[in-house]
Amino acid sequence: MTDDPDAYLSAQPHTVTGTSTAQTGHPITLRLPHKADASSIHGLIEHCPPLDLNSIYTYLLLSEHFSETCVLAEGPQGPDGFVSAYIPPTKPDVLFVWQVAVHERVRGRSLGSRMLSELLARPHLAHIRYLETTVGPDNAASRGMFSALARNLQAEVSESAMFDSCLFGDSGHDDERLIRIGPLRLPPPDI
Ligand SMILES: CC(C)(COP(=O)(O)OP(=O)(O)OC[C@H]1O[C@@H](n2cnc3c(N)ncnc32)[C@H](O)[C@@H]1OP(=O)(O)O)[C@@H](O)C(=O)NCCC(=O)NCCS
């Protein structure tokens, strides 16, 4: 594996990419999740509050049907990170990011940002013009990560209401506000 993650990223953008050991302290492989990963992804999410812990079946479905829009970051001790995302059926130019999780042993070392960048660099997502996600009012880490992404992509950010807290019943869940990043730049044309 090269020490230059960007070189590796551009060399193999689709199924497997890498991050340098210097950033995370150990080698990490970025790849599409498989159904055999669902249980360990569930274990990672369990350790990443305030994320909602979904059923293992949810992570099976994501790995089986949406792996092309999800990222697993695999380290020597198991999953270090996971991004779930999908293209909403009525918005073909939008990538909706559902959950981003980075294990606390590697937080603050750009893994969250790198997983999102890897996703947007996949050739089959080259048509995506907007990245959308929702954030709670107090999730500074999530807001910081998506702001940094927008800055790096030189894209605008807008915020609007999406899921009001009352829609979550009695669970005490915060509002989830929609963050929209874009328009993203078109990739350079093939010459
Ligand atoms: C949010 C999370 C995924 C960030 O992962 P990470 O790998 O530590 O983030 P990165 O190192 O890539 O940081 C990306 C940017 O976010 C900022 N950031 C990261 N953690 C932050 C924090 N706690 N407070 C404020 N900003 C933060 C970084 O400063 C960086 O911005 P910069 O490039 O301007 O310096 C991780 O903290 C996590 O898993 N949290 C628990 C689950 C969660 O809240 N997920 C997000 C909701 S979907």
Q: Computed from CA positions of residues 65, 12, 126, 132, in that sequence, does the dihedral angle turn out positive or negative?
A: positive
Distance separating alpha carbons of residues 95 and 181, to the nearest angstrom: 10
Using one digit for the tens of pLDDT, what is the confidence trace for 73-121?
999 999 999 999 999 999 999 999 999 999 999 999 999 999 999 999 9
Which structure tokens are listed for 39?
A: 């249980």
Q: What is the mean pLDDT of the chain?
A: 89
Q: Which ligand 1 atom is at minimum distance from the Cα of 134?
A: 48
**Ligand 1 atom closest to Cα of 139?**
44
CB atoms within 10 A of CB 43: 15
Distance (angstroms) between ligand 1 centre and the Cα of 141 equals 4
- Three-state DSSP at 116 gives helix
Close Cβ partners of 178 (under 8 Å, ≥ 6 residues apart): 132, 133, 134, 159, 160, 161, 162
Is the Cβ–Cβ distance between 75 and 106 less than 8 Å? Answer: yes
Using CB distances shorter than 6 Å, the residues near ligand 1 are 48, 50-51, 99-102, 107-113, 139-142, 144-145, 148
pLDDT band at 191 (very low <50, low <70, confident <90, very high): low
Contact status, residue 111 vs residue 81, Cβ threshold 8 Å: yes
In the chain, the amino acid numbered 120 is L
For residue 186, name the pLDDT band (cuts at 50, 70, 90): low
Give pLDDT, residue 6.
40
Per-residue model confidence as pLDDT tens digits over 37-52: 999 999 999 999 999 9
What's residue 12's pLDDT? 40
Residue 7: predicted pLDDT:
35
Q: Is the pLDDT of residue 21 over 90?
A: no
Residue with tokens 């927008």: 150
Q: What pLDDT shows up at residue 172?
A: 87
Distance 190 CA to ligand 1 centre (A): 34
User: In this prediction, what percent of the chain has a pLDDT beyond 70?
Assistant: 85
- Answering whether pTM is above 0.85, one says yes
142 Cα–ligand 1 center, Å:
5
| Mean pLDDT for the stretch of residues 154-163 | 96
For residue 186, report the distance from its CA to the centre of ligand 1, in Å: 26
